[in-house]
Structure formats: C-alpha cells, structure tokens
Amino acid sequence: MTAARATPRIPVEERLFSLVLALLASENGLTKVDILSTVQGYRQRYLVDGVTPGLERQFERDKDDIRELGVPLETIEAPDDPGNNQNLRYRIPRGDYELPADISFSPEETTLLNLAAMVWREGSLSGESRRALMKLRSLGVIADEPMLGYAPHIRVRDAAFEPLTGALEKRLVVRFGYLKPGETHARTRTVAPIALIQHQGRWLLHGFDQDADGTRNFLLRRILTPVQITKQQFEPFSADATDAALADLERLWSERTAVVAVEPATDAATRLHKRRGTVTDEAGRLLLHYTDVNLFADELAGFGPEVLVVSPPELRDAVRSRLERTATDHG
C-alpha cells in the first residue's frame, strides 16, 4: 500500500466546513500553502506528498463548491507581487457572511439556536478540525468570536450516505432502488461503489453498475430505498477514478449552456448571478452552465415566474412541464 492510499479519508463536508471556518477566522486571508498545510482534509495529503496537482485541483473544486453555496469567498493579490497566483490570499469577509442587521432573536430563540449550534458543532467538527484551528492560531489567526454570528449553510445528508460510506471502506457491492428522471418507478441497481463525490453542491455515488456493465453516477437523493450492503467484495479501482469522474462531470458542465432571462432584483437574480461561470449577455440575459438537464430544470422551476428559459428547447420544455404539473397538483 502506498503512502497516498494510507492517508485517512476525510468527509468532503467536514473539509468544506473546516475551510470556511479557517477563511472566516483570517482577517488578512490565507495563502494556498497555508490552507493546504493547515486545514483539515488537505493537510493529511500535504504531509504525505506536499503540494501536488491533485491536491490543488481538490482545492479549486472546493472553492467553486462553497461559492456555489453562496459563501462570499474573496481572492486578494499581494500588493508587492501582482499577478503571482502563488501569493494570492483567500478570505471570507465577515461583514458579507454575517446575519443581516435587521434580524434579531428573542431570548427563547437564542437559547434554541445555541443548543442547535452545540449539537452541530459536536457532530460536525472533529478533534482533528479543532487541532487544525489551534495550528491556525499559531499562524497568527485568531477566532475567539462565536460562530453563531454567522449564517452557515447546513445540509442534511441523504440517508444513503452513511451505508454507502461503509460499503466503500469495505469494498462491498450494494443494491438500492433508484428513480431515473422521467420514470415513475424505482429500479433495483447493483453497484460496486467507487467514490462518493460532490459536484455543484450535490452528492453523487460514482460506481460500476453491474446491470449496465459500466460506470455510472447516481444522485443520492434519487435513491428511494434503504441501501442493502451485500457480502460480495470487489477489487479496488484505479486511484485516479474519482478525479476522472469529476473531470467528466466538469466536461459536461462546460459543454452545456443555457440562456435564461431573469427578473431583476429577485431571489433568482441574486442566486443565479453567483453561479460559477455565469456570463451576462448584451440583452441582460444570463448564460448559465449546467450538468444535467433534469436537475437544472428542478432548480429553475423553483424560481417560478422569476426566470424564463430562452434556450435550449429541451430545458425550456422540462421547466414548463414542472410548472404545469405544480399548477395541476394545486388545482
């Protein structure tokens, strides 16, 4: 077993949380080396191999993911060395991430929030993350203020996440009922899990589908039955299988674009403008990238009359059908 394979597995959500925490704590920002050598989820690989292309790609993906969640991540150039990407500093300005000034809580609400924050902190922040914060303090980064003053995006993981994690660690084949877009009934899939990956804020299982005799990506929220872990073991896949799966998703995201007209000063305008790669054309319409037409249609339909899909036709039709179905369901 190589040193890289011996590196402990750190859940993606813990790595992202640790990254946000570190960038919030740093008033002047952190360099890439500061982050990779200190923050939980990066430093384990950094201690083994140093700064590698794979570790840097992971950091770039994580930056995109937290921006996708609405976190205002800033990039600051060194005044004495402009244009040098190695000396860039990253930070999350507290003023942009704090709760709005016009929001206040009663004593009872504050008590409940404090209890929730304690449960969340104890359940999400490991001892390794706390030690990473102590190391950040040794770099001159002080974070004594309570995290309750910020508005974290807490996402409940899908029920399939934990059993799939266990199957991955033991290299065991799983079975589950999966509902494909456009179908009305879930079909049983038998899959050798390769990796749990997060792309554009969504969790997917990348695995070898034994029925289809090929690799497939399964959106966790479309797994409708409890995950059954079999006793059938499989040989480990290539070490770069996860990177290859993410690269394929990135290729699809880059190739697929939509033109969307958005109502100004609306929730849709605020959120869609912040999406990675968004461009505004001369008519004020947004050019948006997406990976899956059905997932993107679900997202756009959620904005209701605030958005109008101009192209492509299949996305426009998918959004319309969702809105029509909602209107029918509600009479």
Give the per-residue pLDDT at 143. 47
Q: Are residues 129 and 99 in the same domain?
A: yes
Q: Residue 31: inside a domain, yes or no? A: yes
Q: Residue 154: inside a domain, yes or no? A: no
Domain boundary among 95, 115, 149: 149
Domain span at residue 300?
256-329
**Number of CB atoms found within 10 A of residue 158's CB:** 17
Token representation of residue 322? 């969702």
Q: Are residues 132 and 190 in the same domain?
A: no
Give the per-residue pLDDT at 3. 39
Amino acid at 137: R
Give the per-residue pLDDT at 114. 58
Q: Residue 155: inside a domain, yes or no? A: no
* pLDDT per position as a tens digit, 204-229: 999 999 989 999 999 998 999 999 99
Q: Are residues 288 and 212 in the same domain?
A: no
What is the CATH classification number for the domain harbouring 177? 2.30.30
- Over pLDDT 90: what percentage of the chain? 33
Give the per-residue pLDDT at 141. 47
177, 187 contact by CB (below 8 A): yes
Q: Are residues 65 and 83 in the same domain?
A: yes
* pLDDT per position as a tens digit, 41-64: 898 888 877 888 888 888 988 888
Q: Residue 309: inside a domain, yes or no? A: yes
Q: Are residues 167 and 145 in the same domain?
A: no
Distance CA 325, CA 262 (A): 22
Q: Would you say how long the chain is, in residues?
A: 331
Q: Are residues 69 and 21 in the same domain?
A: yes
Q: Are residues 222 and 260 in the same domain?
A: no
Q: Are residues 272 and 324 in the same domain?
A: yes
Which stretches of the chain drop beneath a pLDDT of 70?
1-9, 83, 96-105, 107, 109-157, 331
Q: Residue 39: inside a domain, yes or no? A: yes
Q: Are residues 237 and 301 in the same domain?
A: no
Q: Residue 156: inside a domain, yes or no? A: no
Coil, helix or strand for 2? coil
pTM: 0.54
Q: Residue 56: inside a domain, yes or no? A: yes
Q: Where are the beta strands (DSSP E) in the chain?
A: 30-31, 74-76, 89-91, 172-178, 187-199, 202-209, 214-219, 228-233, 257-262, 279-280, 286-289, 307-311
Q: Residue 299: inside a domain, yes or no? A: yes
Q: Are residues 263 and 321 in the same domain?
A: yes
Q: Are residues 174 and 263 in the same domain?
A: no
Number of domains in the chain: 3
